[in-house]
């Protein structure tokens, strides 16, 4: 495949060519399965790993709404080494999450290998390595996006992980640390040589954080350079955009992140169902998410964690802004739930149906996990 040029402006013109997401006569089947190192992924939609978001409840919901692969938030290898209770809690795996990638970050090859073995023992299908986080508290430790500045060290980290486990290893990375960087095109092939079975590229620089645009011309170039699947991440917010990115880059799948925060219907729309949710459906999904998060994190942690989700779920013109503000001010999750169900009484029947369909949670329990993280108790 010949690498494309022209940056975001030319890509955007192509993406907007047709409202149904086709590029010329080319239409990509998002329901087509693909293989990541021997693990079959049932759709070409991947739910991104997001710190402070990708709890188990979020991942299970993503699978229900069409994501073929879901990912944990990034897990500190130092936290795993030291037996940190909150860190080990990220290794909880429910049976209906599969296929699941658990993402780790760190800068020491030996520690990364040990953490990968814990991920394998937890029951994950893929070990993902974070070379993309741009946050200072991560990069200053020599982890995250900063690893891209040292291709040799990046390759050593991937080699240590790939050599430690039988699971396929994937790597999520940025284009580089500096604006305009093309380091991903140098580092990416090195990572594949070191044992990476797939690469995810978010073609923004670490310096950009989440500003500007994701330059998927770089994604197309990376696809042309490696013989493993490439997942395209960044600015995938609709079915049309997903189709455009896949058709113009040759990527195996698209990764959706911020667009799915409190909005699983964005995943459904990308997969081809454009029906907007009713208020009752929104409330039912939010209350289910709240209950599942309390089960996972415990009442105390969940109370603060959930506040950002209220605005995410109830936005998009679904509920008035004062209502969202009212929920944030309520002191307990029980009061929030009662207020939500009062605002959309029909949601209760939908909620009961959802809970019946889900059934009890079946989790892998590791001997190394502190008992207090289960059931939030």
The set of catalytic residues is: 133
Question: What is the C-alpha radius of gyration for the chain, rounded to an integer number of angstroms?
Answer: 20
Bridge partner residues of 102 (DSSP): 127
Query: Interior CA angle at 303 toward 299 and 307, to 5°?
Result: 155
Any idea which residue has 């990476």 for tokens?
Answer: 196
Cα torsion for 28, 32, 37, 40, to the nearest 10°?
A: 160
Cβ pair 292, 57 in contact under 8 A: yes
Bridge partner residues of 128 (DSSP): 103, 170
- Return d(Cα 227, Cα 248) in angstroms, integer: 17
The H-or-E segment that residue 306 falls in is none
The H-or-E segment that residue 46 falls in is strand 45-47
Q: Residue 207 CB: number of other CB atoms within 10 A?
A: 16
> Can you point out the beta strands (E) in 62-205?
69-71, 75-76, 93-94, 100-105, 126-131, 169-176, 198-205
Cβ pair 290, 333 in contact under 8 A: yes
Bridge partner residues of 363 (DSSP): 94
Question: If we measure between CA atoms, which residue out of 232, 237, 261, 264 comes closest to residue 248?
Answer: 232
- Return d(Cα 348, Cα 358) in angstroms, integer: 15
- Return d(Cα 326, Cα 336) in angstroms, integer: 9
> Do strands 75-76 and 253-256 pair parallel, antiparallel, or not at all (unpaired)?
unpaired
**Lookup: tokens for 170:** 């994937």
């Amino acid at each position: 495949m010949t690498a494309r040029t022209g940056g975001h402006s030319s890509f955007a013109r192509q993406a907007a060519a047709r409202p149904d997401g086709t590029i010329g006569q080319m239409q990509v089947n998002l329901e087509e399965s693909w293989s990541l190192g021997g693990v079959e992924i049932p759709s070409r939609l991947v739910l991104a790993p997001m710190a402070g978001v990708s709890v188990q409840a979020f991942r299970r919901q993503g699978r229900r709404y069409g994501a073929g692969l879901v990912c944990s938030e990034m897990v500190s290898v130092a936290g795993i080494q030291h037996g940190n209770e909150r860190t080990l809690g990220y290794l909880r795996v429910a049976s209906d999450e599969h296929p699941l990638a658990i993402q780790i970050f760190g800068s020491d090859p030996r520690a990364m290998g040990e953490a990968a073995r814990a991920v394998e023992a937890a029951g994950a299908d893929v070990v993902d390595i974070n070379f993309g986080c741009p946050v200072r508290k991560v990069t200053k430790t020599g982890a995250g996006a900063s690893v891209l500045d040292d291709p040799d060290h990046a390759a050593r980290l991937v080699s240590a992980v790939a050599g430690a486990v039988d699971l396929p290893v994937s790597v999520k990375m940025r284009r580089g640390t500096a604006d305009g960087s093309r380091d991903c095109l140098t580092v990416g092939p090195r990572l594949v040589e070191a044992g990476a079975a797939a690469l995810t590229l978010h073609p923004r620089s670490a310096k950009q954080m989440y500003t500007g645009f994701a330059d998927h011309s770089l994604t197309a170039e990376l696809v042309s350079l490696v013989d493993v699947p490439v997942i395209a991440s960044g600015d995938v917010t609709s079915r049309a955009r997903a189709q455009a990115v896949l058709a113009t880059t040759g990527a195996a799948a698209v990764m959706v992140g911020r667009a799915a925060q409190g909005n699983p219907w964005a995943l459904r729309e990308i997969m081809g169902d454009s029906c907007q949710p009713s208020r009752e459906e929104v409330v039912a999904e939010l209350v289910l998410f709240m209950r599942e998060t309390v089960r996972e994190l415990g009442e105390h942690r969940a109370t603060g964690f959930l506040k950002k989700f209220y605005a995410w779920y109830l936005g998009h013109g679904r509920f008035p802004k004062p209502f969202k503000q009212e929920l944030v001010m309520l002191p307990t999750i029980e009061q929030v739930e009662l207020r939500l169900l009062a605002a959309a009484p029909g949601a209760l029947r939908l909620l009961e149906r959802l809970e019946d369909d889900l059934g009890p949670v079946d989790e892998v329990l590791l001997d190394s996990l502190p008992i207090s993280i289960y059931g939030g108790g």
